[in-house]
């Protein structure tokens, strides 16, 4: 299993070996969330061929609404901010370059995570982000739960539920608390085979995220279960994740676009003193991903409404490959993305 997973990763990475000759930007829905790639990020439709040129100053907004299963999740990722155009150039690699800053709150029934994101897109193929945020867990939905060490942590779905719903004789492990996060994200995009109109018919993307957690845990506890990442993470320390996507693009009527492809995800937390091999291996998922953009008209206040579906199966996980949840049960995401320009 591990050998086949590594082979798949190599094949996907190799798709980035060719340069994007026309430089068409593959925009990411919800790209300003620190770990949205764990949830439902996919490339949305590139700028429509209308000759529209981004102004020097922009105020943009975006929204990504997500329902997730295995692990459970319901969330809204919102972003509104200012972007400054870096180059007065019509070159495809430079015309969409910008630096920006935005407010980027994440809201769920279990926690609130308001943050600020700095974004830099020096060329169309590369986007960099840094996000600082605070987080407030409410203590509901059996979250959060923390443990003295990785060796003593029990965080399968059934165990989290049982530990969070105990009676008076055995109090619940779940409690409300606060913390902070700092995330760094880098994204590479590629567009290859093109149709007669010059539009890419094959697209690929690699998105890497590293997040530093600092949580206020119960005295003596050093790790906690983060359902957002679906990982056991340190009280203070890093998690990393990467999404590799390869899409076939179908240009439909008007500016509508259908993308269908494959996503491979890897995630891992770095736990000091851990001796459990299943935690050091991280988690891996793979499966189909589909995105349908109804229209793309750059400059509009409401633009690029996109429906997203993900169906992935866990290849490596301490509890979702038969230990607690059958491996046949997929990771499922339904999402809706939309964005726009507020000054146009």
Half-sphere exposure of 228 (CA within 13 A, CB side): 26
Q: Report phi then psi at 253, rounded to 5.
A: -60, 140
CA distance 223 to 275: 14
Q: What is the pTM of this model?
A: 0.85
C-alpha distances in Å from residue 42, one per residue of 20, 58, 144, 288, 290: 18, 23, 28, 11, 8
Q: Report phi then psi at 9, rounded to 5.
A: -60, -40
Classify domain 2-297+309-341 at the CATH topology level: Lipocalin (2.40.128)
Nearest in space to 259 (alpha carbons), one of 247, 246, 275: 247
Break the chain into its structural domains and give their ranges: 2-297+309-341
Helix (H, G, I), strand (E, B) or coil at 147: strand
Half-sphere exposure of 112 (CA within 13 A, CB side): 3
Sign of CA dihedral 133, 225, 284, 309: negative
| CB 282 within 8 Å of CB 265 | no
Nearest-5° angle of CA 312, CA 318, CA 320?
35
| CB 60 within 8 Å of CB 47 | no
CA distance 78 to 75: 10
Q: Collect the ranges in the chain with pLDDT lower than 70.
A: 1-50
CA distance 138 to 141: 9
At a CB cut-off of 8 Å and minimum separation 6, what does 68 contact?
39, 40, 74, 75, 331, 332, 333
Q: What is the pLDDT of residue 258?
A: 96
| CB 7 within 8 Å of CB 322 | no
Q: What is the pLDDT of residue 24?
A: 37
Q: Report phi then psi at 51, rounded to 5.
A: 80, 5
Q: What is the pLDDT of residue 50?
A: 57
Cα 135 versus chain centre, distance: 17
- Enumerate helices (H) and strands (E) in the chain, giving the number of each: 3, 19
């Amino acid at each position: 299993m591990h050998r086949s997973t590594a082979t798949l990763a190599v094949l996907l990475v190799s798709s980035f070996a060719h340069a994007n000759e026309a430089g068409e930007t593959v925009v990411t829905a919800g790209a300003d969330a620190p770990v949205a790639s764990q949830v439902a990020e996919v490339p949305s439709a590139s700028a429509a061929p209308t000759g529209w040129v981004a102004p020097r100053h922009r105020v943009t907004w975006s929204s990504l609404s997500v329902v997730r299963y295995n692990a459970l999740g319901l969330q809204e990722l919102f972003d509104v901010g200012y972007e400054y155009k870096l180059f007065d150039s019509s070159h495809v690699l430079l015309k969409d370059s910008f630096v920006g800053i935005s407010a980027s709150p994440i809201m769920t029934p279990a926690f609130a995570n308001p943050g600020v994101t700095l974004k830099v897109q020096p060329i169309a193929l590369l986007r960099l982000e840094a996000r600082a945020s605070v987080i407030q867990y409410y203590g509901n939905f059996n979250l959060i739960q923390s443990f003295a060490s990785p060796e003593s942590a029990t965080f399968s779905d059934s165990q989290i539920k049982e530990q969070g719903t105990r009676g008076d004789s055995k109090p619940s492990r779940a409690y409300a608390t606060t913390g902070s996060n700092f995330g760094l994200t880098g994204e590479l995009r590629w567009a290859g085979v093109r149709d007669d109109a010059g539009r890419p018919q094959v697209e690929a993307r690699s998105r890497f995220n590293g997040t530093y957690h600092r949580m206020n845990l119960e005295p003596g506890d050093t790790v906690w279960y983060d359902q957002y990442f679906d990982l056991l993470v340190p009280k203070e320390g890093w998690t990393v994740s990467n999404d590799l996507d390869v899409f076939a693009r179908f240009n439909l009527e008007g500016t509508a676009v259908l993308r269908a492809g494959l996503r491979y995800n890897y995630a891992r937390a770095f736990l000091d003193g851990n001796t459990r091999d299943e935690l050091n291996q991280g988690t891996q998922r793979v499966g189909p991903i589909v995105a349908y953009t109804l229209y793309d008209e750059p400059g509009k206040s409401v633009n690029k409404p996109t429906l997203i579906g993900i169906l992935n199966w866990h290849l490596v996980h301490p509890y979702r490959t038969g230990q607690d949840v059958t491996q046949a049960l997929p990771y499922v995401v339904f999402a809706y993305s939309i964005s726009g320009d507020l000054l146009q």
